[in-house]
Amino acid sequence: MTAILIADDDPDIRDLVAFKLEQAGYDVRAVDNGLAALSAARENPPDLAVLDVMMPGMSGVDVCRELYANPATATLPVILLTARAQEGDVEVGFGAGAVDYVIKPFSPRELVRRVEAVLARTRA
C-alpha cells in the first residue's frame, strides 16, 4: 500500500487530510510537528509527504530541505500545504525541493488529485 506521511500542527487539518487520504486507499501516518515528520521519514521513508509550512520549531520548508539534503530521502516527493500564498512564499517552497504547493483554504478532493498526480509522475 502506498504510504503517505502528513505533518500539520493543526489537528483539524491533520485529521481531515488523513481521513481523506485513508478513504482514497493510502496508508497514512500523521504527526504534529516538523521534527517528528523528519524522524518518521528517515526511519521509514513514505512514498510521499504532505507537510504544513507553518509548524512550531521546524517548518515544513525546513523539513523539506533536510529531506532533500539526505541521500536516503532526497527522492521523496513533498507537497507543501500552507496558508502562505504570496509569490515569494511559493518560490521558497519550490526552492526547498517541494514538488507541489497546495494553498489553504484547500479542497480535500483537489488535494487527493494532486497526491495522485505527484505519485503518477514519480512512478512514470
Partner 1 sequence: MVGIATGALLVLTAVTVVLAAVIIFGRAARRIGDARRARLAAPARRALLALAAGDDEQANFTTLARLEPGVWRAVEPTAVALLGKVRGEARAVLVSVFEERGSGERALRQTRRAGAVRRARAAEVLGNLRRRDAVPTLVALLADPDPDVRAVTARALGRIADPTAVPALLASLVGPRPVPPQAVADAVLRIGADGRDALVGALDHPAELVRVTAVEVLGLVGAITAAGRVIEVLSGDASPAVRARAAVTLGRLGTRQSLGPLLTAVEPTQPPALRAAAARALGDLGAVAAAPALGTLLADPDHDVAHAAAYALLRMGDAGRAALARAAHAAPAGSDPPVETATARAGAYAREALAVAELEARRRVGAAAAAAVR
* Interface ranges with partner 1 (CB under 8 A): 10, 12-13, 15-16, 19-20, 23, 68, 74-75, 77, 86, 95, 97, 99, 104-110, 122
43 burial level (CB within 10 Å; 0-12, 13-18, 19+): exposed
Q: Please say which residue, 13 or 50, places its beta carbon nearer to partner 1.
A: 13
Q: Please say which residue, 35 or 84, places its beta carbon nearer to partner 1.
A: 84
CA-wise closest residue to 26 among 114, 121, 124: 114
- Minimal distance, residue 99 CB to partner 1, in Å: 7
Q: Please say which residue, 44 or 109, places its beta carbon nearer to partner 1.
A: 109
- Residue 13 cell numbers, joined: 487539518
- Minimal distance, residue 66 CB to partner 1, in Å: 13
Q: Please say which residue, 6 or 13, places its beta carbon nearer to partner 1.
A: 13
- Minimal distance, residue 35 CB to partner 1, in Å: 22
- Minimal distance, residue 38 CB to partner 1, in Å: 17
| 97 Ramachandran zone, left/alpha/beta (phi>0; psi -120 to 50) | left
Is the Cα torsion angle 64, 36, 33, 31 positive or negative in sign? positive
Rounded to whole angstroms, the Cα distance separating 12 from 67 reads: 25
Strand partners, 30: 6
